[in-house]
């Protein structure tokens, strides 16, 4: 009986006769080759879970419509659903995708390219969404690496070659602008441009690489808004501007979903260090329907927050 039912489902998938099956997942193109192959496996996995994994009373409740098991086709394998990825550790220490190892990036352009690779690799190790809980903090060190690289290049271009240690090369060092005016201006402009292009590349990559099973793009989210360093702010502004600009023809990027972390004293009132970033986020949300906003000051979020640990900032997976 089960075999015959699966054969019937397979016929309906092949001949595109059942829209309910082909379009059960709005993110999966059930008419494509990879989508149909995915549905073959999905329907068998559901049948296996019902027959060999779920208790009989739950199967009866599903059949009667009293219970709906989300992602039932993933149930039998027992892997994780949504997850926050520790981009800071992966980028700092390097990682292995299973096919090859990757070392630490030395620029923001490379770092954002690796964020896409990490998202795409992790997406195939689980189901559900993948997210960065504090991408502004995670990527800020690589903005600085780009600044150092451009500063050294500028010293050669403008013959401002007085020695200065790498430890002194950061955007907020006012002495650099005074002692090396041409080099500093060049390095800052080039770093801003590189960060902007890196964010555009990341968003285009995540919306065009069908690296999830069934020819889907990864279900990605990015949280940001609390990092007040110049480098972290540069990352957040670049992501917002890339979302506002849209994809190649100006269309709204589906992913990554973006979430702006709101907190009094950081970005909620004029005079707060990131208030301008909040205003930009509101503009982006009005035009692109995101970022969504999460309230760090809500009592159930604030109780876990520590100012010295960005990992304690509330983060979400897509829409609340």
- Is 27's pLDDT higher than 70? no
At which of 43, 77, 111 does a domain end?
77
Are both 38 and 125 inside the same structural domain?
no
Whether 181 and 44 map to the same domain: the answer is no
Q: What is the CATH number of the domain that holds 196?
A: 3.20.70.20
User: What is the distance between the alpha carbons of residues 234 and 112, in angstroms, rounded to a whole number?
Assistant: 13
Single residue among 52, 77, 102 that ends a domain in this structure: 77
- 203 and 149 fall within a common domain: yes
- For residue 293, cis peptide bond before it (omega within 30 degrees of 0): no
Q: Is the pLDDT of residue 39 over 90?
A: no
| pLDDT, tens digit, 9 for 90 and up, residues 105-133 | 999 999 999 999 999 988 888 888 899 99
Range of the domain at 50: 2-77
Q: Tell me, yes or no, whether 91 and 66 share the same domain.
A: no
pLDDT category, 28, cuts 50, 70, 90?
low
Residue 285 sits in the same domain as residue 249: yes
Based on the domain organization, do 22 and 142 belong to the same domain?
Answer: no
Is residue 303 very low, low, confident or very high in pLDDT (cuts 50, 70, 90)? very high
Q: What is the pTM of this model?
A: 0.88
pLDDT at position 2? 58
Asked whether residue 218 falls in the same domain as residue 97, the answer is yes
Same domain assignment for residues 73 and 106: no
| 317 in a structural domain | no
pLDDT of residue 25: 57
User: Looking at the structure, do residues 247 and 195 belong to the same domain, yes or no?
Assistant: yes
Q: Are residues 66 and 90 in the same domain?
A: no
226 is a domain residue: yes
Q: Please report whether residue 142 resides in a domain.
A: yes
Q: In the structure, what pLDDT confidence band is assigned to residue 10 with cuts at 50, 70 and 90?
A: low
Give the CA angle between residues 101, 85, 207 to the nearest 5°. 85
Q: In sequence order, what are the residues at sequence separation of 6 or more whose Cβ sits closer than 8 angstroms to the Cβ of residue 143?
A: 108, 171, 191, 195, 231, 232, 234, 235
Q: What is the pLDDT of residues 146-201, one digit of tens each?
A: 999 999 999 999 998 888 999 999 999 999 999 999 999 999 999 999 999 999 99
Residue 91 and residue 206 share a domain: yes
Q: Is the pLDDT of residue 40 over 90?
A: no
DSSP class of residue 312 equals: G
Tokens, residue 292: 């969504």
Q: Which of 77, 103, 129 is the last residue of a domain?
A: 77
Angstrom distances, CA of residue 214 to CA of 32, 57, 168, 209: 8, 31, 49, 12
Residues 188-219: pLDDT tens digits?
999 999 999 999 999 999 998 876 665 678 89
Q: Could you tell me if 282 and 302 lie in one domain?
A: yes
Taking alpha carbons only, the member of 21, 206, 62, 212 closest to residue 128 is 212
What is the count of structural domains for the chain?
2
Name the token pair of 76: 């039998």
Contact criterion met (CB below 8 Å) for 146 and 118: no
In angstroms, the CA 40 to CA 34 distance is 10
- Average pLDDT for 132-152: 98
As a whole number of angstroms, the distance between CA 271 and CA 229 comes to 15
Q: pLDDT tens-digit profile of 222-270?
A: 999 999 999 999 999 999 999 999 999 999 999 999 999 999 999 999 9
The answer to whether the CB of 116 falls within 8 A of the CB of 209 is yes
Please compute the mean of the pLDDT values over residues 124-146 and round it to a whole number.
94
């Amino acid at each position: 009986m089960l075999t015959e039912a699966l054969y019937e489902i397979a016929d309906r998938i092949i001949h595109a006769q059942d829209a309910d099956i082909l379009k059960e997942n709005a993110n999966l193109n059930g008419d494509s080759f990879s989508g149909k192959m995915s549905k073959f496996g999905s329907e068998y996995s559901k049948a296996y879970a019902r027959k060999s994994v779920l208790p009989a009373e739950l199967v009866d409740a599903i059949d009667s419509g009293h219970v709906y098991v989300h992602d039932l086709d993933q149930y039998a394998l027992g892997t994780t659903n949504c997850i926050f990825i520790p981009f800071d550790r992966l980028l700092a220490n390097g990682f292995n995708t299973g096919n090859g190892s990757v070392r630490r990036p030395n620029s923001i352009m490379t770092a954002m390219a690796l964020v896409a690779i990490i998202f795409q690799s992790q997406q195939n190790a689980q189901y559900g969404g993948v997210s960065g809980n504090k991408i502004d903090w995670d990527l800020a060190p690589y903005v600085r690496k780009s600044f150092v690289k451009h500063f050294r290049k500028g010293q050669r271009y403008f013959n401002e070659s007085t020695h200065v240690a790498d430890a002194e090369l950061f955007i907020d060092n006012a002495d650099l602008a005074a002692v090396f005016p041409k080099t500093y201006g060049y390095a800052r402009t080039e770093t801003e441009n590189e960060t902007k292009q890196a964010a555009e590349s990341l968003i285009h990559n995540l919306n065009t690489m069908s690296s999830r099973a069934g020819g889907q793009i990864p279900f990605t989210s990015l949280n940001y808004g609390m990092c007040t360093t110049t480098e972290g702010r540069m990352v957040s502004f670049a992501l917002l501007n890339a979302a506002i600009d849209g994809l190649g023809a100006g269309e709204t990027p589906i992913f990554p979903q973006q979430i702006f972390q709101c907190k009094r004293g950081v970005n909620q009132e004029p005079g707060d260090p990131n208030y301008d970033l909040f205003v930009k986020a509101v503009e982006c949300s009005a035009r692109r329907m995101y970022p969504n906003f999460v309230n760090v000051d809500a009592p159930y979020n604030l109780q876990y927050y520590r100012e010295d640990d960005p990992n304690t900032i509330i983060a979400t997976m897509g829409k609340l």
